[in-house]
Amino acid sequence: MQNLTCWVVTDGKAGMENQCIGLAEAVGLPPIVKRVTLRSPWRQLSPFFRLGPRHSTAPGSDALEPPWPDLLITSGRAGVTPALGVRRASRGKTFAVHIQDPQIPPRLLDLVVVPQHDKLRGPNVITTRGALHMVTPAKLADAAARMGPAYGHLPHPRIAVLIGGTNKLFRMTPVIMGDVAEKLANLAKCHGAGLLVTPSRRTGADNEAILRARMADVPSVVWDGQGENPYFAFLALADVIVVTSDSVSMVSEACSTGKPVYIIELDGGSPKFQTFHQALKDAGIIRTFTGELDHWTYRPLDDTAMVGAEIRRRIEARTGQRIEPPQPAG
């Protein structure tokens, strides 16, 4: 029996590509990742006006040519053309899944995955409470086993602090950063907490300097961007997670752990983000970070596994072949 194959096709943006890869892994099909750029003027036009997958991609793009995959996962605006083109060229072999609203009728694809705070609905539309991602219990257990000893000197409770920053909708200001840094330092002093802190490129040099200065005299580790990214290890080793509000992905990943999650409110936002955050607050999953430390439980947010299981079921019914599901953490 022939092995089933999976492609992930994106424009290379890490956030969307990671969602696609995480979903492919949740299905149980290791993906071949292909990155494409659409030619001009095709990238400015509606997908209905574009040619096949080989004609609409620019030089330097990965080849989209037979043999066609059994499963294709795409995301974002740039992924719509490959999804339509490959699905059509494969003559029904390829099961095409698109993450986010494709801005075309969902019936033109096999499955569309959107967050609940989007309004798109349909018989082949699956909604999720958060973003899809690559975090799994098995990966967290592996990261903790490999990297945990390096942070063994930090006391409990350990607080993972995931700092994003300014983007199109949110602003991280020095005032906000200073306030957050002071509250975190107080938690270390008053509760004996150890801090596992990871800023990002969007945090900004001035804000990061404020954060590092305040963390210098409390039990903490602030990742400097060198060596292996400890993000998974921080999630695994933490007793509590504090995360900025600017990233649906980071919030979703934090909530997949089942640990208490506090949200740092940044300036700005949008109705979609407000709906997303409020739904998680109403479900008892997240709380606003005020400098207090509490403990609560909830069922981990596991949308990626849920969507992966549904795709696996549909492909198995379509092909008559069984797909081995991902192995749980041992």
Domains and their CATH numbers in the chain: 6-129+303-319 (3.40.50), 137-288 (3.40.50.2000)
Task: Quote the CA–CA distance of 91 and 231 in Å, as a whole number.
Answer: 41
Q: Which two tokens stand for residue 278?
A: 């409020």
pLDDT, tens digit, 9 for 90 and up, residues 162-181: 999 999 999 999 999 999 99
pLDDT, tens digit, 9 for 90 and up, residues 220-250: 999 999 999 999 999 999 999 999 999 999 9
Q: Which residues of 249-276 are buried (b: 16+ CB within 10 A; e: fewer)?
A: bbbbbbbbbebbbbbbbbeebeeebeeb
Q: Are 277 and 248 in contact (CB under 8 A)?
A: no
User: Residues for the chain: how many in total?
Assistant: 330
Q: What is the mean pLDDT of residues 248-267?
A: 97
Is the pTM higher than 0.95? The answer reads no
